[in-house]
Amino acid sequence: MPSRQQLANAIRALSMDAVQKAKSGHPGAPMGMADIAEVLWRDFLKHNPADPNWADRDRFVLSNGHGSMLIYSLLHLTGYDLPMSELENFRQLHSKTPGHPEYGYTPGVETTTGPLGAGISNAVGMAIAEKTLAAQFNREGHNIVDHFTYCFLGDGCLMEGISHEACSLAGTLGLGKLIAFWDDNGISIDGHVDGWFTEDIPARFESYGWHVIRDIDGHDSVAVANAIEAAQAETGKPTMICCKTIIGFGSPNKSGSHDCHGAPLGDDEIAAAREFLNWPHAPFEIPKNIADAWNQTEKGTGAQASWNDKFAAYQAAHPELAAEYERRVLKGELPAEFEEKANAFIKECQEKSENIASRKASQNAIEAFGALLPELIGGSADLAGSNLTLWSGSKGIQDDPAGNYIFYGVREFGMSGIMNGISLHGGFINYGATFMMFMEYARNAVRMSALMGIQNIFVYTHDSIGQGEDGPTHQPIEQLTNLRTTPNMVTWRPADATEAATAWKHAVIRQDGPTSLVFSRQGLPALARSASQVADIERGGYILKDSVGVPEAILIATGSEVGLAMAAAEQLGDSVRVVSMPSTNVFDAQDSDYKESVLPSAVTKRVAIEAAHTDFWYKYVGFAGGVVGMTTFGESAPGGDLFKHFGFTVENVVKTVNSL
């Protein structure tokens, strides 16, 4: 049987060889954390390389994602479908081994990490999902949800603000099955971090309410194993294991230095490392005895088979719960009646014809859909009374572990990163809310959601200068463009309750990416529609008021400005068409015939109206068209005064149309 040192050296060799062949990468972290990884993955991690999506597997997150060759080495060695050819193709086009781990590319990679701090926030979300799902489904003698979330992270992750936000909440929520390993090597790309990173990390995490295990030698396998056992035994708090390591361990001349952090070691140094580690094997060569000792397929298949037996017993004892678990977790399906009942609610909204703020319409939709969706879990980064995310069935998970509402506190970035982890874990449809302006705090996590193509519902209220007296710090201008131009993000800005309900339905059904729902603070008029127009809302843009004959001009508007467009059209006469476009992303995805029927190319006299930045709209109105929008920041004043001041009036819309 190979020694633990030899097994860990397999990671070191693969990492330095792959980085060298690619001529780029980060060999230092994988070489430094190899001993910790060997203990965790061979002795503790519950997983099945033959089925990377087994529902009750432990989750492993490499938050210091620049050290990606660590996880690629582990996945290859333990038996995942990641052949050696993929490691040799590290960082090359279309390989399964991109520069940073990417969800969906590599079997066994649980989340896309690269932006430092993202991974630990995702891990917090996964641990929340595990704890909540366990409380909802486990019954005495039947623990079908019972797994840990492990996370490796480095100094850079701990410097990023998102780690403070997410880890603070993790301590408050008592996430006892979250175990993090701090790679305390004292090095970042700029050098020794003691010039810019000197806080007491163990004390910081103790202040969060974490269980902290200090001063573990990350190269002492016995000490690491003992620390993991102690972490697993602490069920009321998340655990931080502080591991002192040497970055680039095994490199005689570059270990302990930033020289091995973000650059290949070089052929001469790799040769010296091979000699130092007593690793006489050729690049990308793993001896059979070491490969056999690493492979976890048989062990993992056995663990999953045991779980299958447990689930069969659970089915016999609790058939209805088991069927619900299968629907939500194993199949990821919506309740069979959801779409029918959602459509009935949309029809009801149209018939009620209420003049309400779209944020209130959003709350009404949550109320209606929450009763249909036991998998719905949501929250707000504070401001729940303004974002209107609470509904009659909301139960905070801080008081009831089986609840469905998360009070995130003022943590927009942390909330969004945690949402990503909840979605990646599975078993939930989750939403999170803040003011539209503060999407900026969360921007990177929102982008990661789109990059991974995972379902999240981002609820953004107070969507324009209509926010009013709080002034330009709280009034979004460019944010809608930001969201609409993010690949794989679908953004909705509804004009009334019917469009809001349709947007919510779309967001719940959509599983291949995130949706941003953008709502007003101020009240909006209900709009008259036929049944066919209500149905066409789902196409993202539709004719709300048509002209008599071929239109001479087309007004395009969204959200609070649709009512303005309708009023302007009344003055302009029967030759004007009004198009409501609640989702430009969805409209753009329609077939060309439908888009031409709504926006005929022959009609060049077009004006877009939206209290957001003008530049986005020229793709729809053309350079010969006009845009009534914003080119500056807002001001502090009542919303109605601001709309007049910035030209969102019937008179200005009419003037703009007539000027074309």
Based on C-alpha coordinates, what's the Rg of the chain? 27
Cα-based torsion angle of the residue sequence 248, 250, 251, 254 in order, rounded to the nearest 10 degrees: 40
Q: What is the CATH number of the domain that holds 654?
A: 3.40.50.920
Give the tens place of pLDDT for each residue, 308-361: 999 999 999 999 999 999 999 999 999 999 999 999 999 999 999 999 999 999
Task: Please say whether the beta carbons of 496 and 527 come within 8 A.
Answer: yes
Tell me whether residue 484 is annotated as binding.
no
pLDDT band at 583 (very low <50, low <70, confident <90, very high): very high
8 Å CB contact between 36 and 224: yes
pLDDT at residue 40 in the model: 98
254 and 388 co-located in one domain: no
| Residue with the two structure tokens 């609409």 | 484
- Distance from C-alpha of 398 to C-alpha of 347, rounded to nearest angstrom: 36
Confidence category of residue 590, pLDDT binned at 50, 70, 90: very high
Q: Over the stretch 195-224, which tens digit does the pLDDT of each residue have?
A: 999 999 999 999 999 999 999 999 999 999
Give mean pLDDT, residues 296-304: 98
**One domain for residues 114 and 240:** yes
Q: Please state the rounded mean pLDDT for residues 281-299.
A: 98
Q: Is 306 among the domain residues?
A: no
Confidence of residue 88 (pLDDT cuts 50, 70, 90): very high
Out of 102, 160, 412, 561, the active site residue is 412
Alpha helices in 196-318 (DSSP H): 201-208, 221-233, 267-276, 288-294, 297-317
User: Does 116 show up as a binding residue in the annotation?
Assistant: yes
Mean pLDDT, residues 188-196: 95
Q: What is the pLDDT of residue 657?
A: 98
521 marked among binding-site residues: yes
| pLDDT confidence of residue 250 | 97
66 annotated to a ligand binding site = yes
pLDDT band of residue 80 (cuts 50, 70, 90) is very high
State whether 402 and 285 are in the same domain: no
pTM of the shown model: 0.98
- CA 217/CA 242 separation, integer angstroms: 9
The answer to whether the beta carbons of residues 620 and 556 sit under 8 Å apart is: yes
Q: Is residue 530 part of a domain?
A: no
Residue 594 CA to residue 571 CA, distance in Å, equals 28
The answer on whether 378 is annotated among ligand-binding residues is no
Q: Is residue 394 part of a domain?
A: yes
pLDDT of residue 388: 98
328 annotated to bind ligand: no
474 is in an annotated binding site: yes
Q: Tell me the C-alpha to C-alpha distance, in Å, between residue 338 and each of 10, 314, 509, 572, 611.
A: 51, 26, 9, 42, 34
Strands 523-524 and 356-357, by their bridges, are antiparallel
> Running DSSP on this structure, what letter comes out for residue 83?
-
Rounded to an integer, the average pLDDT of 257-267 is 95
Mark whether 412 is an active-site residue: yes
Domain identity same for 74 and 198: yes
For 582, the domain range is: 538-659
> What angle (nearest 5°) sits at the alpha carbon of residue 600, between those of residues 595 and 602?
150
Calpha distance 506→20 (Å, rounded): 47
Domain count, the chain: 3
The answer on whether 438 is annotated among ligand-binding residues is: yes
Residue 632 resides in a domain: yes
The verdict on 293 and 359 lying in the same domain is no
| Residue 253 belongs to some domain of the structure | yes
Instruction: Compute the mean pLDDT over every residue in the chain, rounded to the nearest whole number.
Output: 98
**Coil/strand/helix, residue 503:** helix
Task: Please indicate, yes or no, whether residues 152 and 272 belong to a single structural domain of this protein.
Answer: yes
Task: Note whether 596 and 562 are same-domain residues.
Answer: yes
The confidence score (pLDDT) of residue 450 equals 98
Per-residue pLDDT tens over the stretch 480-500: 999 999 999 999 999 999 999
472, part of any domain: yes
- Tokens 């990884």 locate to 37
Residues 116 and 180 in one domain: yes
Q: Are residues 403 and 437 in the same domain?
A: yes
Residue with tokens 């630990």: 120
Q: What is the pLDDT of residue 610?
A: 98
Task: Say if residues 169 and 409 touch (Cβ distance below 8 Å).
Answer: yes
Instruction: Say if residue 458 is in the same domain as residue 557.
Output: no
400 assigned to a ligand binding site: no
Which of residues 468, 483, 518 is at a domain's end? Answer: 518
Per-residue model confidence (pLDDT) at position 324: 98
Read off the CATH number of the domain in which 143 is found: 3.40.50.970
* Residue 577 falls inside a structural domain: yes
Of 250, 284, 301, at which residue does a domain stop?
301
- 183 annotated to a ligand binding site: no
Same domain for 215 and 135, yes or no, is: yes
Which of 248, 274, 301 is where one domain is finished? 301
Consult the annotation and say whether 462 binds a ligand: yes
62 within a domain of the structure (yes/no)? yes
Q: pLDDT at position 489, please?
A: 98
Residue 114 marked in a binding site: yes
* 185 in a known ligand binding site: yes
| pLDDT tens, position by position, 368-425 | 999 999 999 999 999 999 999 999 999 999 999 999 999 999 999 999 999 999 999 9
Residues 173 and 126 in one domain: yes
Q: Most distant CA pair in the chain: distance in Å?
A: 87
